[in-house]
């Protein structure tokens, strides 16, 4: 007999089934013994009557929480089990023991500190709350891939070891690379552009590294970015693509993760498109109208981002037309005002989840901007060169997977939304 999932077993009243999983809890009320068995799909009560030979096996084994067992038995309707079904077992086999006591309560009833949970992340994955977060993250990822594939985008694989920075030199992790020095990619930026000027429409999901020294609830040192790059497209075209992608992802999560959203107590709305497009200057005016001190040209702090979001009231909106000082060298400046670039951020539930720009596809202008940013064009020769051979105008964006998971699941700390977070203090597990 093949193993089936507990949720499927519940539908097989009167049938023999083989199920396996972890012991959630056991109870012995003298004449009857109970085991609640859990697998990834759910849990079920195993009821053992005194004349059942499994009763003696249970007495001998003295099962503890998280022991792993395999059971064959018959599924029956039950008056007392909360799911109204139970399994009357014919055999019970111990597959592995769990050490006792457990470092955290897998049922999730007793809350553990985040640090403890991250130290024992594999156990934390078994709690209803954490497993819901990652089941939602899976749907975010698959919806992203599905949306872009259906729109004719191709998935690409850029390198993670690179020779030069794309997002500003300060945040790079340096690594020895034989006789040379190399860096961990802080973005797939330069490579996705080199692909888009030939493959036209590309997307990717890649890890990136940023050596930012501070610890905040919204920053990690290793992030997964969901990136897009499109040729023959300006910033407006890819902003439209981004809002459509966001709506597609949220719709899918709402539809496929209703159980998980309920466990997390989340009720998410599908944003109405087109999303509001605020200019950077509009956002500055909003802030200063609140008496906030702000100099045009600076970046918004996280509290200021939140403040702007509260004033705008929409759950998702763009801030566009940024000062060139705030954006990377590859952002296309406005022809009539080169202090402003074709760049946008997408805020969702008060947090920046994505940013993008129209790129510079003209080699001379690119060299000029590199110099203005204090970078050496020789370090970027492989990149700049490729725009000399028929590079169409192109634009793109990047969504931070953990940031989006955080805003959809309503978590306050980004570490909740990364399986094995890397931050200033954490390198294990």
Shortest approach of ligand AMO to residue 401 CB, angstroms?
8
Query: What kind and span of H or E run contains 132?
Result: helix 128-150
Shortest approach of ligand AMO to residue 208 CB, angstroms?
7
- Strand runs labelled E in 280-392: 316-323, 340-348, 351-358
Shortest approach of ligand AMO to residue 209 CB, angstroms?
9
Of the CA atoms within 13 Å of residue 11, those in its CB half-sphere come to 6
Residue 167 or 314 with smaller CB distance to ligand AMO: 167
Residue 332 DSSP label: P
CA distances 174 to 51, 73, 113, 322, 402, Å, are 67, 57, 33, 29, 24
Taking CB atoms, the residue at the shortest distance from ligand AMO is 400
Shortest approach of ligand AMO to residue 344 CB, angstroms?
9
User: Which tokens in the block code for residue 250?
Assistant: 């949220």
Residue 39 or 402 with smaller CB distance to ligand AMO: 402
Residue 10 or 415 with smaller CB distance to ligand AMO: 415
Residue 92 or 331 with smaller CB distance to ligand AMO: 331
Residue 52 or 357 with smaller CB distance to ligand AMO: 357
Q: At what angle do helices 280-289 and 302-312 cross, to 10 degrees?
A: 90
d(CA 234, CA 247): 20
Exposure pattern of 169-194 as b/e (b: 16+ CB <10 Å)?
eebbeeeeeeeeebbbbbbbbbbbbb
User: Which tokens in the block code for residue 410?
Assistant: 């309503």
Residue 182 or 205 with smaller CB distance to ligand AMO: 205
Q: Would you say 413 and 217 are in contact if contact means Cβ atoms under 8 Å apart?
A: yes
Shortest approach of ligand AMO to residue 397 CB, angstroms?
5
Q: Could you list the residues that contact ligand AMO (CB under 6 A)?
A: 167, 187, 189, 210, 212, 219-220, 223, 225, 227, 352-357, 396-398, 400, 402-403, 414
Other C-beta atoms lying within 10 Å of the C-beta of residue 39: 18
d(CA 397, CA 148): 13
Residue 104 or 331 with smaller CB distance to ligand AMO: 331
Shortest approach of ligand AMO to residue 174 CB, angstroms?
17
Shortest approach of ligand AMO to residue 61 CB, angstroms?
46
User: Which tokens in the block code for residue 406?
Assistant: 């955080």
Residue 76 or 379 with smaller CB distance to ligand AMO: 379
Query: What kind and span of H or E run contains 381?
Result: helix 381-385
Shortest approach of ligand AMO to residue 145 CB, angstroms?
17
Of the CA atoms within 13 Å of residue 24, those in its CB half-sphere come to 19
């Amino acid at each position: 007999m093949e193993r089936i999932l507990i949720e499927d077993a519940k539908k097989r009243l009167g049938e023999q089934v083989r199920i396996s999983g972890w012991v959630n809890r056991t109870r012995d009320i003298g004449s009857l013994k109970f085991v609640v068995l859990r697998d990834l799909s759910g849990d079920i009560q195993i009821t053992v009557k005194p004349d059942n030979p499994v009763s003696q096996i249970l007495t001998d084994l003295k099962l503890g929480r998280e022991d792993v067992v395999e059971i064959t038995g018959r599924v029956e309707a039950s008056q007392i089990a909360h799911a109204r079904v139970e399994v009357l077992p014919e055999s019970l086999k111990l597959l592995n023991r769990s050490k006792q006591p457990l470092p955290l309560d897998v049922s999730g009833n007793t809350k553990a500190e985040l640090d403890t949970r991250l130290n024992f992340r594999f156990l934390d994955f078994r709690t209803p709350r954490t497993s819901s977060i990652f089941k939602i993250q899976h749907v975010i990822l698959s919806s992203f891939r599905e949306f872009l594939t259906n729109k004719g985008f191709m998935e690409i694989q850029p390198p993670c070891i690179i020779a030069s920075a794309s997002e500003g030199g300060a945040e790079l992790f340096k690594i020895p690379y034989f006789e040379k020095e190399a860096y961990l990619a802080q973005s797939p930026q330069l490579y996705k552009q080199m692909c888009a000027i030939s493959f036209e429409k590309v997307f990717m999901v890649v890890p990136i590294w940023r050596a930012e020294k501070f610890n905040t609830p919204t920053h990690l040192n290793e992030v997964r970015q969901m990136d897009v790059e499109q040729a023959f497209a300006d910033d407006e075209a890819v902003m439209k693509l981004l809002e459509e992608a966001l709506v597609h992802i949220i719709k899918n999560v709402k539809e496929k993760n209703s159980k998980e959203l309920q466990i997390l107590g989340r009720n998410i709305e599908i944003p109405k498109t087109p999303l509001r497009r605020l200019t950077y200057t509009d956002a500055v005016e909003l802030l200063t109208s609140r008496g906030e001190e702000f100099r045009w040209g600076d970046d918004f702090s996280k509290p200021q981002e939140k403040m702007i979001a509260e004033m705008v009231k929409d759950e998702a909106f763009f801030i566009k037309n940024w000062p060139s000082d705030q954006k990377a060298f590859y952002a296309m400046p406005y022809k009539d005002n080169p202090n402003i670039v074709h760049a946008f951020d997408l805020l969702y539930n008060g947090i920046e989840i994505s940013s993008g720009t129209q790129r510079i596809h003209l080699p001379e202008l690119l060299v000029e901007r590199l110099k203005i940013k204090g970078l050496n064009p020789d370090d970027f020769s492989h990149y700049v060169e490729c725009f000399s051979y028929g590079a169409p105008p192109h634009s793109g964006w990047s969504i931070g997977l953990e940031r989006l998971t955080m805003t959809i699941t309503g978590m306050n700390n980004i570490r909740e939304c990364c399986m094995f977070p890397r931050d200033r203090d954490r390198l294990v597990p």
